[in-house]
């Protein structure tokens, strides 16, 4: 088994796949890159048993009668590839002993591979539905929701991103019970209505791979009751869906919010960041005191005698109100909006605040986003 490949192209593909690798696995073979050589094509694969990533790379080979395979320890291979400039490398693998030789100019390197026959196989792609979407749409959906997912192992369903597909569009939802994000797109539709929960780790890996591309890529998304299958460019991803039923997120969104606050997004964000430095590290609480044309944001840490407040202009329709929020949650949400202004809808200091991007022209877009943040009880 012998092939010649560009060092940087191979490194880039392997780094994309390496996010799946787990340091806590008990099977040494899972800590390897699986390689399958065919005529002028090298297929690379990694898995953690729940998610499998596959990438294809063009290589130079002599005549290959039949596909040949080997498993190479990932850490050692990545470490050696990182030391090379942009040069061709010659890989020679003994398919009997699985020894791997790498040659570059005057350098010769040998490492022990493993029998690829013991590498876990992928589940069959028996799908019940599919949809095509652009990479920009998927990257935006993951970017705007993944930060709101839970890390509570007792509620696995909330550790992922809920995806609901209909003939009218697609909705992505994430929540940890303290904050919630609902992101909808009208330009991605499905022939049939369905829903499933996307696992956070593999979907973030997919986002990182797509975000590194300068051009739009079309993605084929297929699914069945247990697995999701994604195909784009030279990549193929299979991941197990999160099992369980997602909470009724619509019931958590207050419908009657008569108090409406409009703010310059960047000014609001910068003020939050400054004032929250003085908040208690235990609660991260900031107070929003809202009147007709001004918002005062304040924070204090009684134990350390630290406090701060700052007033910024705003547009406000409603009764004067004092309401408290976790500054970290509020900052995350405002940071993940791209509009020049934001609209905050409120009903009562004890009920959730709803945040939207605010567009004065009212121009209709292919996507819309709603963010919900639960209040915290003020000291007085």
Domain ranges of the chain: 2-118, 129-178+185-247, 253-373
Fold of 2-118: DNA Polymerase III; Chain A, domain 2 (3.10.150)
User: CB–CB of 130/188 below 8 Å?
Assistant: no
- CA 166 to CA 311: how far, in whole Å? 44
CATH architecture of the domain formed by 253-373: Roll (3.10)
Q: Report whether pLDDT(350) > 60.
A: yes
What pLDDT, on the 0 to 100 scale, is given for residue 55? 95
Q: Report whether pLDDT(64) > 80.
A: no
Q: Report whether pLDDT(365) > 80.
A: no
Contacts of 256 (CB under 8 A, 6+ apart): 347
At residue 106 the predicted structure's pLDDT band, cuts being 50, 70 and 90, is confident
Q: Report whether pLDDT(260) > 70.
A: yes
At residue 362 the predicted structure's pLDDT band, cuts being 50, 70 and 90, is low
User: CB–CB of 128/225 below 8 Å?
Assistant: yes
Higher pLDDT, residue 26 or 230: 230
**Fold agreement (2-118, 253-373):** yes
User: CB–CB of 259/345 below 8 Å?
Assistant: yes
Burial environment of residue 221 by CB neighbours within 10 A (0 to 12, 13 to 18, 19 or more): buried
- Nearest-CA neighbor of 36 among 72, 10, 84, 70? 70
Kindly report the pTM of this predicted structure: 0.89
- CA 143 to CA 148: how far, in whole Å? 10
Q: Which helix (H) or strand (E) is 334 found in, with range? A: helix 327-335
Fold of 129-178+185-247: DNA Polymerase III; Chain A, domain 2 (3.10.150)
């Amino acid at each position: 088994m012998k092939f010649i490949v560009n060092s940087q192209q191979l490194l880039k593909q392997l780094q994309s796949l390496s996010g799946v690798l787990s340091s806590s696995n008990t099977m040494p073979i899972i800590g390897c890159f699986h390689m399958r050589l065919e005529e002028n094509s090298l297929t690379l694969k990694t898995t953690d048993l729940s998610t499998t990533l596959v990438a294809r790379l063009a290589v130079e080979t002599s005549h290959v009668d039949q596909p040949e395979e080997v498993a190479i320890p990932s850490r050692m291979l990545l470490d050696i590839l990182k030391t090379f400039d942009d040069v061709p490398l010659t890989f020679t693998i003994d398919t009997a002993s699985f020894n791997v030789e790498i040659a570059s100019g005057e350098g010769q390197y040998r490492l022990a591979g493993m029998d690829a026959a013991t590498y876990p196989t992928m589940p069959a792609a028996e799908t019940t539905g599919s949809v095509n979407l652009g990479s920009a749409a998927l990257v935006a959906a993951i970017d705007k929701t993944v930060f709101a997912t839970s890390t509570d192992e007792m509620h696995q369903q909330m550790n992922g991103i809920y995806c609901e597909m209909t003939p009218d569009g697609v909705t992505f939802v994430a929540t940890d019970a303290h904050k919630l994000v609902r992101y909808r797109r009208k330009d991605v539709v499905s022939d049939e209505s369905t829903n499933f929960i996307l696992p956070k780790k593999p979907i973030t890996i997919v986002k990182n791979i797509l975000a590194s591309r300068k051009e739009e890529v079309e993605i084929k998304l297929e699914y069945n009751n247990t697995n999701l299958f994604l195909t784009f460019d030279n990549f193929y991803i299979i991941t197990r869906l999160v099992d369980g039923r997602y909470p009724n997120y619509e019931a958590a969104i207050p419908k009657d919010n008569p108090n409406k606050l409009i703010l310059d997004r960047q000014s609001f964000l910068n003020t939050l960041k400054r004032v929250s430095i003085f908040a208690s590290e235990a609660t991260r609480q900031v107070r929003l005191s809202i009147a007709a044309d001004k918002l005062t944001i304040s924070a204090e840490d009684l134990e350390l005698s630290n406090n701060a407040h700052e007033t910024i202009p705003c547009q406000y329709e409603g009764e004067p109100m004092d309401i408290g929020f976790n500054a970290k949650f509020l900052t995350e949400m405002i940071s993940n909006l791209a509009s020049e202004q934001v609209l905050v809808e409120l009903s009562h200091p004890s009920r959730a605040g709803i945040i939207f991007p605010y567009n004065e022209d009212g121009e209709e877009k292919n996507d819309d986003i709603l963010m919900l943040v639960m209040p915290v009880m003020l000291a007085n």
